Amino acid sequence: MNHATHGRAVRRTGATALVAAVLGGLLGGAPAAHSAPPPDRTAEEPARDAAGPDDRVRLDGAPGVWPRPQSLRTRGPAVPVGQEVLLVADEDADPYALDTVRDILRAAGAREVRTVRPGQETHARGLVVRAGDRAAERALRALGAPERGDLPAGGYRLAAGRADGVDGPGGTVALSGAGPDGLFHAAQTLRQLVTTGDGGARITGAVVRDWPASPVRGTTEGFYGEAWPHQERLAHLDFMGRTKQNRYLYAPGDDAFRQSRWREPYPAERRAQFRELAERARRNHVVLGWAVSPGQSMCLASEGDRRALLRKIDAMAALGVRAFQLRFEDASYTEWHCGADAERYGTGPKAAATAHAELANEVAAHLAKRYGFGRDAVPLSVLPTEFYQDGPTEYRGALAQKLDADVEVAWTGVGVVPSAITGGELAQARTVFRHPLVTMDNYPVNDYAGDRVFLGPYTGREPAVANRSAALLANAMEQATASRLPLFTVADYAWNPRGYRPQESWKAAVEDLAATGGGTGRPEGSDKPGEPGDRAREALHALAANNSSSVLDEEESAYLAPLLDAFWKARAGEDDEEFTAASDRLRDAFAVLRESPENLAGVAGGALSEEMRPWVRQLARYGRAGRYALDMLAAQRRGDGAGAWKARLELQRLRAEARESGVTVGEDVLPAFVDRALKAADDWSGASGGAEKKAGRSGERVRGGPAPLPGSPPEHAADGDPATAFRAAEEPAPGAAGDEGDDGSGDELVLRLPRARSLAAVTVQSEPGAGTRAAVEAHVPGEGWRRLGALSEKGWTEVDTGGLRADAVRLAWQDGSKAPVVHELTPWYSDSPGAGLELLREEVNAVVGGGPTAVGARLTGHRPTDVRGRLTVRAPEGFTVRAPRRVTLRRGVPAAPKIEISAGKDVRPGTYRVPVTLTAEGESLRRTLTVRAYPPTGGPDLARGARAGSSADETEDFPASAATDGDPGTRWSSPAKDGQWLRVELDRPARIGEVRLHWQDAYASRYRVQVSADGRAWSTAATVRDGRGGRETVRLDAPAGTRYVRIVADERATRFGVSLWSVEAYAVREQGREQEQGREQE
């Protein structure tokens, strides 16, 4: 659809740029969107008026049913299917629903399914299934099903179990539906109530009353790129039927026969395919739709062109198409295809809208006359030129006025690919267009980001979007089978948005796609760990979870986060067993990634692997990379430099392959882990150069060596990056090791130091097995070159120099050496500090008489061995400090001790300086922690219900008063400018000691809390320089006469304004006599 109009540009300019442009409202001169993100109560957080306890889905041990029913409760024991089943069906019962029921029963083990009409039943020896209003009503009542009532079209009732006076001893299943689709939907639920165990297949005893929230739910094939193969479309229609979707809109972006060649009929082969699609759609109770985009190639005023369009529509209807969409997404307001259009309509948005409405009205009238709405056809929908903008425009107003009332209007939400769609936005769009709205959501479509697939669940859409749209269609990806994962969740949401739980639905989607067969809908091979079904599910979950982030939700690889955190925490500790356990858990997760190609090969008959090959390969690549990363860091932990270096070379090769692959997997998680592991390894090996090289002060220079290969100069041997290397083009001339006064002017590779330094060790990382033979030497002033050791063939060489004072190191080549390859030549110095100390926060707050406040420290060793030290924290009088005294800084692994500080009840409020000192190898490093002691607070929230004002409100929907009204669902939002403020006027003066802020997603990264007695003279009571959003508590000690509190947002964290759900203010809790004002104490 029209996002893909811009999708062509995406492939030229890059996905990131397009998404930024889309969300910024920059395409097509779109009006600016709201300056704050929409409310965060979306589909995953049902509104307060959601279904009550009596209507909630209750699974109670039953298998999951998807889409999630509006009401399901278990009832009694399961009933066995058995070998003989009697199917009692109304004469006019839906034949496709009955076929589905028979297929389910046979797959569950029934050898004979005998079908009779109501009144023709004979004594039943086994299970009886009743389908249809007449056949099922008595059994439904006996089994405790609710009355039909006002069940909407597509709804159904189902009951399974045993009851007195109903059929025989084998149990009864009763199904009844509303409208033409209801019975078919009941059959799909029955499919999921079948379970298989040692005793054979059983149907869970249950009572269901269910209906769709959105009357039309389905898929648009509307992306630019290679269209789906015909067999994939057929398979997708089966998937839609199984998930109770009822509309498929054919609209591939590169199909010329619905765009530039719209006048021409499809070739015979394509026409045959459409007929087959239509038949498959009927069997699955899906309405087949077709979209036409005549665009600028049609003369809208031409009777001949209009007749040609109607002929094409009739031809498609003859092939089985029953829903039509007319698209004007690429229309110009100033250029027409013919002069007659300019003469008839003029130019400008209003003229274009008039032309579009006129054509749409003629098409709608033709459809209504020939096919009849509600019988063989459905209302025409129109995708207007302005389908994603916000608010009223001249074009939208004219279109709404001139378009016939029965014609539906399509929109995508505010933005082409909006991160959220709210009920308020939908209501505003309905007000603007004044026609029923078809929400055509551009998720999970990915043609604007060719390196990505979007497999995460559907989020960010409020329930009203499903409840109040005439239709909800989700635009699929080019990868048809993979699209079923997110589209499964879209179907779940569209059916029951108030009961929708994205993560649960997404897990069910993985289960559904991973299933290898079974007419019962339950996956085979799922009862034994390690069986193919289990491995396929694991691999599919990993594929989906590592491709889950999107504009809708930025979270990626969520299941890996705790494993990664635990691993890095264990690596920083001294417990080897904990490190091994954390490594093993992560290793198992990486094994799933590594083995994903073979384990996904059978999913969907191999279709998934075929279309997802680049992403599956990338996933496996990261699985191998993860294994090598763990091997590398484990080898370093046990002191095996050669093993670690070998693993690092494999890891950096895989990282290079991943970067060149052209696809993205595990964005900001898997690549970040690899990068962090490589960085950790380089800290251990010394390649990163420690504090000196990081500060750019090392002054080391490399020269010499044989002539290099292009792009591999000698400088690469000491650039701090082991991924680069000096690579010689030829074998070197042997050096004269140890000669007095030798200046190394031959082929030796020489690293000159800026001055003579004390060396603790020298590390060389060279290519293993490359045949490089050399001596490692150091130049001692006044003595000459001294041999330190020989280069190892394993590629890892580290020689202890014992504090030798030298001004250069070199590699002197030996006889028989091949062309050398040297990745890194690293001197370790012993005349610089052996450790580093960094406070993660330089300022902390402490409540007088309150609990401890923790601040983290980062301690690093700068030696090729472990460094032992002493940490000292000197607390001022009245403070209590807890911190480890003795610390061991393992080579290359930062330590992260916590320092806890608390202020006693007798401490005066004020600012205190706390020195923190790390002493290691006879040297001390000192940092100062600033502690601000504040008086304790208590009592009620003084801001609740208080009068509030602001510099400006974004709109009247987000007033300043919303931040103090006590309603968690309302908020204040500012225009998109820095420096905006919110002011609260307290009911009475108070000494304010604490302000609590609850930010919406649009928050301030830097802000001040100001106070005033009269609302005119203001003073800054607190400054926050690192705001992080969410819920933040700001401590202060304002004067006792404070009447006004003001939050000044000096700098926004997002491109939106700033928005606060609430502001709370609490007074200082007086203890006996009034405490003195704070003082500054060193």
Q: Which domains does the chain have, with CATH numbers?
A: 3-16+214-502 (3.20.20.80), 71-210 (3.30.379.10), 532-685 (1.20.58.460), 725-828 (2.60.120.260), 835-934 (2.60.40.10), 937-1081 (2.60.120.260)
- Residue 692 has a pLDDT of 55
Question: 10 Å Cβ neighbour count for 444?
Answer: 28
Amino acid at 742: D
E strand residue ranges, 673-725:
701-704
Question: 450-459: per-residue pLDDT in tens?
Answer: 999 999 999 9
* 787's tokens: 């041999």
- Residue 122 has a pLDDT of 74
Task: Please answer whether residues 766 and 814 qualify as being in contact, where contact means their C-beta atoms are separated by less than 8 angstroms.
Answer: no
- Residue 61 has a pLDDT of 55
Angle value at C-alpha 1005, between 1003 and 1006, nearest 5 degrees: 120
* 1036's tokens: 């202060």
Q: Which of 330, 451, 534, 1050 is catalytic?
A: 330
Task: Please answer whether residues 384 and 395 qualify as being in contact, where contact means their C-beta atoms are separated by less than 8 angstroms.
Answer: yes
Half-sphere exposure of 799 (CA within 13 A, CB side): 21
Say whether 576 is catalytic: no
- Residue 693 has a pLDDT of 57
Task: Please answer whether residues 482 and 512 qualify as being in contact, where contact means their C-beta atoms are separated by less than 8 angstroms.
Answer: no
* 929's tokens: 């922690």
- Residue 735 has a pLDDT of 67
- Residue 690 has a pLDDT of 58
Amino acid at 570: A
Task: Please answer whether residues 36 and 1059 qualify as being in contact, where contact means their C-beta atoms are separated by less than 8 angstroms.
Answer: yes
Question: 10 Å Cβ neighbour count for 926?
Answer: 11
E strand residue ranges, 466-613:
471-475
* Per-position DSSP letters for 629-661, written without gaps between them: HHHHHHHHHTT-HHHHHHHHHHHHHHHHHHHHS
Q: pTM for the whole thing?
A: 0.86
- Residue 244 has a pLDDT of 99
Task: Give the contacts of 1001 (CB within 8 A, at least 6 positions apart).
Answer: 36, 37, 40, 1029, 1054, 1056, 1059
Query: CA-CA distance, 995 to 987, in Å (whole number)?
Result: 16
Token pair 């009864």: residue? 172
Beta bridge partners of 1019: 1011
Question: 46-102: per-residue pLDDT in tens?
Answer: 332 333 333 334 444 567 999 999 999 999 899 999 999 999 999 999 999 999 999
Token pair 């082929």: residue? 747
- Residue 526 has a pLDDT of 37
Query: CA-CA distance, 861 to 987, in Å (whole number)?
Result: 56
Q: Which residues of the chain have pLDDT under 50?
A: 1-60, 375, 517-530, 694-697, 737-741, 744, 1072-1082
CB contact burial 397-412 (16+ within 10 A = b; e otherwise): bbbbebbbeebbbbbb
Task: Give the contacts of 1022 (CB within 8 A, at least 6 positions apart).
Answer: 995, 1008, 1009, 1034, 1035, 1036
